Amino acid sequence: MQSATKMNSWLLNYPKAGDQIRLFCLPYAGGGASVYRGWQEAFPAEVGVYPLQLPGRENRISEQPICSMQELVYALAEVVIPHLDRPFMLFGHSLGARIAFELARHLRRVGERQPSRLIVSGSRAPHIPEPKPVHHLPDDAFIRELRRLAGTPETILESRELINLFLPMLRADFTVDETYSCVEDKPLSCPITAFGGTKDTEAAQEEIEAWQFHTTGNVSLEMIDGDHFFVQTRRDILLPAVSTVLRQYVSQLVDLPQQ
């Protein structure tokens, strides 16, 4: 069991009692909670946005990063379960999408509330493995791959001091992603909204469409003009689209008959 202080470090903002629905957000490999800065302002006031901060980055840079999907999901479940007294959705980009999926499955296994919707972005369906793993490469080769993927700022890649600081976290995230194996289980029941980048070389449209095999609910797909990191570069399109999903859910809550 994590201490209260440790659990609070995973959530930059404590969930508000007035939330009608909560959106928990998970970052991509090498990313942190700051990826979701400004999202709260883009969504209806009834929605609480709660980015989850994994250890080993940003305000948790001094902590040991986690290298196992199972360990990561178990830790995240401890953090979110106390805040599932409201309907909630999970959002994840790339690795974050697969973490969100496994978190939903774990919550189901332990008898907790299920997400009202899973929102995945820039991610192959979880049963499709990474075709070219890089987490095991020597540092120089690993750094070359990071530069090719273009998700790590060049200022970090060019500085030996900075890259040495960030390498443990980056390698841990890629290890989580590339050693992850989707164990067969019954599909989720919640609907899935999927976003993809038209120029994304890491998650092709047909690989994103394959999320349909992991739920009995409705699956919708929206392709955004951009590369793998459209979550940052095309916020002007992504945030209104996510907001529409949230507004539709909030309006359904308003229309429900009072008990």
Cα 124 from Cα 205, distance rounded (Å): 8
Number of Cβ within 10 Å of residue 221's Cβ equals 15
Cα 232 from Cα 65, distance rounded (Å): 23
CA angle (17 as vertex; 33, 250 as ends), nearest 5 = 80
Strands annotated E in the chain: 21-26, 47-51, 88-93, 117-121, 192-197, 219-224
Cα 205 from Cα 228, distance rounded (Å): 12
Contacts of 255 (CB under 8 A, 6+ apart): none
Number of Cβ within 10 Å of residue 131's Cβ equals 8
Contact 46, 19 (CB under 8 A): yes
Residue 23 CA: distances (Å) to CA of 11, 139, 215: 12, 36, 19
Catalytic residue (choose from 34, 62, 68, 94): 94
Cα 95 from Cα 30, distance rounded (Å): 9
Our answer to whether residue 94 is catalytic in this structure is yes
Cα 75 from Cα 63, distance rounded (Å): 14
Annotated catalytic residues are 94
